[in-house]
Structure 1
Amino acid sequence: PTSRSPQAALRRERASSVFRPRAAMPASSQTQLRSCVLRCGRSGFAVDYWGRNPCVGAVFLTHAHADHLCGLSEAWEPDGRTVYCSSVTKALLLRKFPGLATRRDVRIETLAPNASVVLRLPDRSSASTRTPKRQTTVAETLLPNDSVNDIGEGHENDELLTVTALDAGHCPGSVAFLFEGKCGRVFHTGDWRREDWCGKASTPFGYDTLTNQPRRPLNDEKRRASSTASTATLPRCLTRAPLDLVLLDNTYGDPSYVFPTRHEAASRVCGLIKQTLEKNENADVYVGVDSLGKEPLLAAIARAIGEPVRVTPERFHASIAALEAAKEGLDEVKRGDDDADNEESDGDPFLGAAPRGSLTCASTSSCRVFALPKQRVTREKLAAVAAHTGREIVGILPTGWAVANATATEAPNAFARAVASFRGEKNKNAAKTLSASAKARDDFTFAKSGAFVSETTDGLPLVHAVPYSLHASYDELEALVRALRPRAVFGNTRAPRNSSS
């Protein structure tokens, strides 16, 4: 990562087996992604990094969020680098940069989740030319496990890298990568949240994505029995040998960030929506979401209200492309091989794509629930919508930063107590408060779930902040690292460069 070599990080951290975050994330600012370039013998590879580096022979893309695509454009120069990602991410990437699909020098290959694949990295040593003399074929770059010794002419100095993609549970198409080669055993989580790995849920999102039916959450007894990650809940590829380095999604790398599971948070969102629609026939609900992500939440809302949630045309067509790509990728795995070395099935087979029938962009829809970009779900902007439409508007912001938006003196501890009471870990009769303090910043009015709030004193629309997070909370990160016990841990994100951070 950045200018520090993984070997140096290993030496610094080898003596420590206890997870300690590098820096606490600030409560009022978004984190910044670190550049990640790793050496692998005579070659190297990058993760979510599109800059020029002479040692990089391949780029691995974890998902298609904009902050992981900084530096990529239709004019990007591959310089002999192959891009590897999931089938869903490839479909979304080519929707964003359609010009890449027609360029002969750009090669984007897909990796199926849970399958270990051996890749050939081009020689990037100082003695080699930076630009390959000829374009390598897909077959020469992507090798089956039983052909690692079948190296063609002109590739004698190439490095072999075994890669396993795993569902990261962050957004449609997101994957984490396990790398094995001369770089050691390195696990890069990308943006990551897998409650089932940490013993907090039975499935990644709380429902069976194959049938689109809710699954019963773990009861209190089972939750207490499996409150931490263990080798039984983790993919076998991560635990069959020690890990040298874990590159961790430390977006919420501070003990004050304690979240409910997404299943629990989604239940709260659905309850707020149903309560709003039932109490006021003249009310509409606006849910603020990212341009990509939270599809399982939108599907849960659609199930709760009995009709598809209204989204923008761009998001609707992107969701269709993601689902079709996920199905094609699943079909390829089924048609592929019965390789005994492949890992057991883990995670969502559709990689978080929205089930068909859960979203709509039809202007004829009568649905009163809208999913819009989160930047448009502020009290002032919703007030303008209400004035234009003549309807009452209620906003919902499902985000882990709901903790950060409350007052610094009350939010983290009060929020943690509220989550604990909601999950039955303290007083079962306590108020099940999932929203932050009402003394929040001016942009938000946070309602407590113990009583339905229908109006505000200043006349602006109400916005509920519910901690539905696509990133793991601190306790989940700690559970993962304690189970993996790597030789070193390094954060994928850093705080913005300012004095308060």
Structure 2
Amino acid sequence: MAKRKVVDKQVSILKFCRTGSGHEETLKKEVTVIDLVSDNEQESLFVCDSEEELPYQEERSTQFACPVCEVDIAHLSLDDRTVHVEACLVNPNTKKVLYRRIKTTGVVEQTKKKCDRRPRPPIPDEKILSFENHTIAVDAFCYAPHPAISVYLLTHFHSDHYGGLTKNWDHGSVIIVTPITRNLLVYKFGVNPDLLLSVDYNQTIEVPHTDLKITCLDANHCPGSGIFVIESPGLRYLHCGDCRINKPMLESLMQIGRFHKIYLDTTYLNPLYNFPKQEIVIDELCKLLQSKMETMQFSQQRVIDFFVDRKPQKFLIVIGTYLIGKERLAIKLAEALQTKIYCNEEKKNVLSQFGWPNLDNLLDTHNPESCQIHLAALPKLNKDYLAEQLKTYSRHFKAAIGIRPTGWSVRYGKPVPSLDAMVAAESPEMVYAAISKHFDRFREDNKARVLQIPYSEHSSYRELFYFANLLEYDELVATVSPHNQDEQLAMLREFKNYDRLCIENF
């Protein structure tokens, strides 16, 4: 397998204040370790195989305070910042949540940076959308106030986009959000609802006191994520936030017409990440697990099976998630296996903000032993964690399978040799065979296994190929790793010059 190239992820969003000359002090703090999914405060979130961690480059020290506990977390990587903030969200009463290697004594040494005296940096140019009479800032809540900007836009509720936004944030007069993002901001951060202007999918609104119109489409990323068409007389921009391109999205954008500028999520603009369509991965995973439930046999009879009233099920399935995200996968699997989904009360309260009746009806917070699907924190989903879960529920399940749905840890197949090879999508049969091959490594003497699947909520290399080719635009801006614009734009221009694509083949 090719060696993984270390890359920046969403660097433009995380370039905060430069390191100041302020002094630092080393303090000993009592550690409270919070589980993203359960309320158990004894388990470490730092249970993560090194090869599964998100790729990143060490960033320069900057000012970035957690929006919940207000501790400076600028020294953490993007992945650890996300873990920290989401842990605080699960238990907002925790005063300090530290993410270091945990010592057995429960005490760690941490350098606490005094960041409140350093001024915030100005909003980067790539986060400012300028029109003739008005200016909008997108996902730019951790920067200094801009005298000409009163309208802000939050594309979705992930910490690398809402970073800096708290209930006391007052840099603008309005924040444009989707209804789900609005609910989450109010529920988790206590943001003033009067500050939030909601725009639903396939809806167009006028921004008060401006000549701007904003249309929102489903970004197919996480619940409440949107791509936004912003228009003023004579100009039309598209900001994609984070998105997973699909056929309905492309068809809607093609009907809108030409864009003067498009800001595109280029997270997977790399031929190594040519993974299959999201819906195909979900369908084939469901088929595989249904098949294994019916056909897989365990040759060795367990002693405990003679003492239980109800015959144990073959598999406990644990799906790795973040605070929000991966819900579509959990819903489809639960429906296919005709089971409910177990999570704790706080997780259920978060998911209830979506307003999805089909999800609400599947959730169970009281009977984990009767739910074949459990939700767990993605960073801690490994064999040891699964073994612990299997031990806990050994009377009810014979084996445990962890589902790690992420594009970062799975390189599906080989890099595509040419653009011609990406015109046709991979067949469901090929996807089934690939996932099945990974599953077949499951051994009876090791009844806890993590199954990696190429399920991503960012666009694949092939999907970016279609997007850049089929849409009409004057300028394309890559929102990931903006320092690497020239290289990314050269690749996107190569996509644009390909003349044998059509939406029917997507």
TM-score by structure 1 length?
Answer: 0.61
Contact in 1 for aligned 2:12/2:479 (Cα 8 Å): no
Q: 1:188 corresponds to which residue?
A: 239
CA offsets 1:413-453 (integer angstroms, 9 cap, x no match): 69x9x99999349xx7x794334xxxxxxxxxxx615x734
Q: Give, in whole Å, the separation in 1 of the partners of 2:425 and 2:433.
A: 7
Contact in 2 for aligned 1:377/1:397 (Cα 8 Å): yes
2:199 maps to a residue whose letter is: L
1:186 maps to a residue whose letter is: Y
Cα 1:294–1:168 change in 2 (3 A) is same
Cα 1:492–1:383 change in 2 (3 A) is same
1:268 corresponds to 2:284: yes
Q: 1:29 corresponds to which residue?
A: 55
2:176 corresponds to which of 79, 84, 87: 84
Contact in 2 for aligned 1:243/1:485 (Cα 8 Å): yes
Q: 2:342 corresponds to which residue?
A: 310
Q: 1:133 corresponds to which residue?
A: none
Q: 1:332 corresponds to which residue?
A: none
Contact in 2 for aligned 1:177/1:187 (Cα 8 Å): yes
1:270 aligned counterpart, secondary structure: helix
Give the Å deviation of 1:283: 3.4
Q: Give, in whole Å, the separation in 2 of the partners of 1:448 and 1:38.
A: 47
1:115 corresponds to 2:210: no
Give the Å deviation of 1:108: 0.8
Give the Å deviation of 1:178: 0.6
2:466 aligned counterpart, secondary structure: helix
1:179 corresponds to 2:182: no
1:70 corresponds to 2:163: yes
Cα 1:413–1:480 change in 2 (3 A) is closer
Contact in 1 for aligned 2:271/2:415 (Cα 8 Å): no
Query: Sequence identity, in percent?
Result: 23
Q: Give, in whole Å, the separation in 2 of the partners of 1:184 and 1:465.
A: 43
Give the Å deviation of 1:359: 2.6
Give the Å deviation of 1:39: 2.2
Give the Å deviation of 1:36: 1.1
Cα 1:485–1:2 change in 2 (3 A) is same
Q: 1:368 corresponds to which residue?
A: 372
Q: 2:270 corresponds to which residue?
A: 254
Q: Give, in whole Å, the separation in 1 of the partners of 2:431 and 2:151.
A: 52
Q: Give, in whole Å, the separation in 2 of the partners of 1:468 and 1:461.
A: 21
Give the Å deviation of 1:40: 2.6
Q: 1:454 corresponds to which residue?
A: 442
For structure 1, the residue ranges without an aligned partner over 5 or more in a row are: 4-25, 121-140, 142-158, 199-228, 325-352, 436-446
Q: 1:54 corresponds to which residue?
A: 147
Contact in 1 for aligned 2:319/2:330 (Cα 8 Å): no
2:273 aligned counterpart, secondary structure: coil
Q: 1:338 corresponds to which residue?
A: none
Cα 1:237–1:60 change in 2 (3 A) is farther
CA offsets 1:187-211 (integer angstroms, 9 cap, x no match): 001111232247xxxxxxxxxxxxx
CA offsets 1:385-433 (integer angstroms, 9 cap, x no match): 33454453221111222434x8xxx75469x9x99999349xx7x7943
Q: 1:283 corresponds to which residue?
A: 315
Which is worse superposed, 463-472 or 488-497? 488-497
Contact in 2 for aligned 1:114/1:165 (Cα 8 Å): yes
Matches within 5 A, 1:410-489: 412=415, 423-424=426-427, 432-435=432-435, 448=437, 452-455=440-443, 459=446, 461-489=448-476
TM-score by structure 2 length?
Answer: 0.61
1:39 corresponds to 2:90: no
Contact in 2 for aligned 1:316/1:359 (Cα 8 Å): yes
Cα 1:354–1:495 change in 2 (3 A) is farther
Which is worse superposed, 57-66 or 189-198? 189-198
CA offsets 1:229-262 (integer angstroms, 9 cap, x no match): 5xxx2346631xx211110011111122212222
1:480 maps to a residue whose letter is: F
Q: Give, in whole Å, the separation in 2 of the partners of 1:495 and 1:313.
A: 40
Q: What is the number of equivalent residue pairs in this alignment?
A: 350
Give the Å deviation of 1:66: 1.7
Q: Give, in whole Å, the separation in 2 of the partners of 1:380 and 1:421.
A: 39
Q: Give, in whole Å, the separation in 2 of the partners of 1:476 and 1:116.
A: 26
Q: Give, in whole Å, the separation in 2 of the partners of 1:401 and 1:273.
A: 23
Give the Å deviation of 1:496: 10
Give the Å deviation of 1:172: 1.3
1:164 corresponds to 2:209: no
For structure 2, the residue ranges without an aligned partner over 5 or more in a row are: 1-10, 14-51, 58-77, 80-123, 299-312, 489-506
1:250 maps to a residue whose letter is: T
Contact in 2 for aligned 1:301/1:309 (Cα 8 Å): no
Larger RCO (CA under 8 A, 6+ residues apart)? 1
Q: 1:234 corresponds to which residue?
A: 252
2:336 aligned counterpart, secondary structure: helix
1:234 maps to a residue whose letter is: S
Contact in 2 for aligned 1:419/1:433 (Cα 8 Å): no
Cα 1:47–1:287 change in 2 (3 A) is same
Cα 1:411–1:461 change in 2 (3 A) is farther
1:244 corresponds to which of 260, 266, 269: 260
1:298 maps to a residue whose letter is: A
1:461 maps to a residue whose letter is: A
Q: Give, in whole Å, the separation in 1 of the partners of 2:172 and 2:360.
A: 38
Contact in 1 for aligned 2:416/2:422 (Cα 8 Å): no
Question: Greater helix percent: which structure?
Answer: 2
2:434 aligned counterpart, secondary structure: coil
Give the Å deviation of 1:364: 6.1
Q: Give, in whole Å, the separation in 2 of the partners of 1:256 and 1:177.
A: 28
Contact in 1 for aligned 2:288/2:432 (Cα 8 Å): no
Give the Å deviation of 1:275: 4.3
